[in-house]
Chains A and B, each alone.
Chain A
């Protein structure tokens, strides 16, 4: 994503945590540099936070507040003890002064070492958490790449080019389909649909009604290719893309935009 996300839903979807992979990284890197979008994201976080009110109401047990306040009081008392004025000490003898002279620097050194270890530990914790999140992202990308590689390598995967129908939107789409695996990959581009319409990809079987293989809108999606699962073992006559109301339909109702017969 090079510019600002155009619609509020882009921020809402990010705040919801539904956006993933490259799309998520693109929003994060843009928001990090754009004050206006950072503000819009803060507003989206607030809108999404309101969904919390959709949860069935539960009241906390009284013991939770008691435990919390006890914990808080113990820290306040701890601070008070630490900051309590120290009684003036009587002047000690030679040995007391000698011990004090030795122990004071040792205590300071120990305190500094403890502080260093504590900050180092916190830094390492953060690093581990970052690495874990990166690893999960990479695992997702790897899983996707594995399925794509498996699909492309399989001998029985067919590749079908879909051509635009006369007078309809322009586009060039290729569908890779494996009947046994029941996996289909869309790859290509189409001019954005008009108004609140979406495109819907259909698997047209040799027998029976068309099966939906995905609803998409190039105007709101960054991705030019995606995978989808369809029922396994369906011999296919053609692939078609129709123009449908946003959200898609159970069976084709709109005009056909692209078609690709299986030879």
Chain B
């Protein structure tokens, strides 16, 4: 029987290395994919991946599984680290604090669930109009703000804001994301 994330975290707190290895096997592929997409350098992405799992090993007692989702936390921390590397910026303490609670609307503990959602997210992104998809990708994978996207695309700021807002509305509708 597969152990839940919360049970594996408890074992990590008790310094059980096999629990960390199990969580690594569960989420390393998903996490490395987003890190690699952001930094576009597999070696640099793998270094961040290793750091994040080592941080999980050291700080597991501070992680409250009842308040947030582990894969959500891994992705948010990983994305911020990768964007920081990309933009040579250190996340502020405030940003780190806001990352502590991430509530995922789905359970990703099973690989099959990850694979299924992977397909749904890919389809939902591909179904967006080209400009909306580009805006979402600039923001998510390159960490750009509204005005930075406007500068990059040459579009008016108001257009970029409306475009991103519409894209997020469509994504939520297409993915039928209601928080559990």
A residues in contact (CB < 8 Å) with B: 8-9, 12-13, 16-20, 28, 31, 38-39, 41-43, 45-61, 64-65, 67-69, 71-73, 75-76, 79, 126, 128-130, 132-133, 136, 140, 198, 201, 212-217, 220-221, 226-229, 246-248
Q: Dominant SS at the A interface?
A: helix
Determine the chain A residues whose CB is within 8 A of the CB of B166 once the complex forms: 246-247
Contact with A along B79-109 (1 / 0, CB 8 A): 1000100000111111100110111111000
Q: A133–B92 contact, CB under 8 A?
A: yes
Bound Cα distance A143, B158 (Å)? 18
Given contact pairs A9-B168, A55-B36, a sample of 8 additional A-B residue pairs in the complex whose CB atoms are under 8 Å apart: A16-B164, A18-B139, A47-B172, A53-B122, A57-B118, A72-B20, A216-B162, A246-B166
Within the complex, which residue of A19, A45, A246 is in contact with B99, where a contact is CB–CB below 8 Å?
A: A45
Q: A212–B159 contact, CB under 8 A?
A: yes
Expressed in whole angstroms, the minimum distance between the Cβ of B16 and any Cβ of chain A is: 10
Bound Cα distance A79, B49 (Å)? 24
Closest B residue to A198 by CB, please name it: B162
Q: A46–B93 contact, CB under 8 A?
A: no
Q: B54–A68 contact, CB under 8 A?
A: yes
The reply to whether the CB of B76 lies closer than 8 angstroms to some CB of chain A is yes
Q: B15–A59 contact, CB under 8 A?
A: no
Known contacts: A12-B168, A50-B121. The answer to whether A228 contacts B158 by CB under 8 A is: yes
The reply to whether the CB of B117 lies closer than 8 angstroms to some CB of chain A is yes
Within the complex, which residue of A16, A55, A67, A126 is in contact with B168, where a contact is CB–CB below 8 Å?
A: A16
Q: A129–B69 contact, CB under 8 A?
A: no
Expressed in whole angstroms, the minimum distance between the Cβ of B73 and any Cβ of chain A is: 9
Expressed in whole angstroms, the minimum distance between the Cβ of B70 and any Cβ of chain A is: 11
Q: B146–A49 contact, CB under 8 A?
A: no
Determine the chain A residues whose CB is within 8 A of the CB of B101 once the complex forms: 38, 42, 45
Within the complex, which residue of B29, B72, B137, B150 is in contact with A49, where a contact is CB–CB below 8 Å?
A: B72
Within the complex, which residue of A9, A48, A132, A214 is in contact with B169, where a contact is CB–CB below 8 Å?
A: A9
Within the complex, which residue of B24, B34, B177 is in contact with A47, where a contact is CB–CB below 8 Å?
A: B177
The reply to whether the CB of B37 lies closer than 8 angstroms to some CB of chain A is yes
The reply to whether the CB of B62 lies closer than 8 angstroms to some CB of chain A is no
| 24 examples of A-B residue contacts, CB within 8 angstroms | A12-B168, A20-B147, A45-B101, A46-B69, A47-B179, A50-B104, A50-B175, A52-B75, A54-B137, A55-B33, A55-B34, A58-B29, A58-B33, A58-B45, A61-B46, A72-B54, A73-B17, A79-B15, A130-B93, A214-B159, A216-B161, A228-B157, A246-B162, A248-B162
